[in-house]
Amino acid sequence: MKFTKMHGCGNDYIYIDGAVEKIADKDKPDFVRKISDRHFGVGGDGAIFINPSDEADFEMEMYNADGSRAEMCGNGIRCVGKYVYDKGLTYKTDISIVSCGNVKYLKLFVKDGKVDSVRVNMGSPQLKPELIPVIANEEKDIVINEPITVCGREYKMTCVSMGNPHAVVFMDDVDNLDIERIGPYFENNEKFPKRINTEFVKVLDKKTVQMRVWERGTGETLACGTGCCATVVACILNGLTDNSVTVRLLGGELLITWERENNIVYMTGPAATVFDGEYDYK
């Protein structure tokens, strides 16, 4: 099976042309677990199949490293844009990609014949607790700065969905955070019926934040595009930043803008190809 290893700010996935490489849906979770293994497989935060679509130019079918299906990945969708342009599947620089029924619109920025960076219209943030989903402490329309107890310590979370669920936690220090210890407890907390992606954020100034992320089904990753979008929405809701913010990640930086008048979040960042290869799946 032919594949391409790609990453956005270090958030790496294995990309497969689903129109060419055929694998049964029932076999995909096992396949993804094996190919994502960093010791016995190719290694990645998961796998993404790029399929034909009647709803958009292409479909992104995304899986986490544990084989579970995921709704959206901001870094992943930028790489899908680069994949389809660089490999000649499209010659357009304005394209649409659907994932789990949600269509996103991409602007591809080309340099020397290859896509260098991508701007994605990530749509509107979802703040209603039942649609994230999160079980709020009280009946309310939005979960902002709400207490949650994890490992015996109280944190404050702001919850946002960008097509997938996020809990944003503001902290004074993220460099020394023991994320491997507390990440799983956030992910599997009873407040999150579908588990949760957790962003641990330090606000540096009105235009810059630092973020580490624990992604459900994968663990800590070097970047999370939807997590950056959720983080900036949470920053603005809490009055901590301007509407356009640079998010510093372990793997690089993303520029996130929440256009409040249209209620649209835009994400701009790099996409890179690491290598092409063939994988013998048995």
Instruction: Locate the domains of the chain by residue range.
Output: 2-122+269-278, 129-262
The CA-CA-CA angle for residues 60, 66, 69, to 5°, reads 35
Query: Does residue 73 carry a catalytic annotation?
Result: yes
pLDDT at residue 140 in the model: 86
pLDDT at residue 138 in the model: 82
**Can 2-122+269-278 and 129-262 be said to share one CATH topology?**
yes
Which residue, among 255, 281, 253, has the nearest Cα to 34 in the 3D structure?
Answer: 281
CA pseudo-torsion sign 95, 97, 102, 107: negative
CA pseudo-torsion sign 85, 87, 91, 95: negative
Q: Give start and end residues of each alpha helix (H) in the chain.
A: 28-36, 74-86, 179-187, 225-237
CATH of 2-122+269-278, one of 3.40.50.720, 3.40.50.2300, 3.10.310.10, 3.30.365.10: 3.10.310.10
Query: Does residue 229 carry a catalytic annotation?
Result: no
Backbone angles phi, psi at 266, to 5 degrees: -115, 140
Q: What is the pTM of this model?
A: 0.93
pLDDT at residue 281 in the model: 80
Residues with Cβ within 8 Å of 46's Cβ and at least 6 positions away in sequence, in order, are: 13, 14, 32, 36, 62, 63, 64, 65, 70, 73, 76, 217, 218
Q: Which two tokens stand for residue 89?
A: 């599947």
Which residue, among 30, 32, 37, 74, has the nearest Cα to 49 in the 3D structure?
Answer: 32
Between CA 251 and CA 261 the distance in angstroms is 31
User: pLDDT tens digits, residue range 146-191?
Assistant: 999 999 999 999 999 999 999 999 999 999 999 999 999 999 999 9
Q: Looking at 73, 159, 228, 235, which residue is catalytic?
A: 73
Q: What CATH fold (topology level) applies to the domain 129-262?
A: Diaminopimelate Epimerase; Chain A, domain 1 (3.10.310)
From the CB of residue 154, how many other CB atoms can be counted at a distance below 10 Å? 8
* Under-70 pLDDT residues of the chain: 282
Between CA 161 and CA 172 the distance in angstroms is 24
Q: Looking at 9, 224, 229, 235, which residue is catalytic?
A: 224
SS3 content of the chain, % helix, strand, coil (to 5): 20, 45, 40
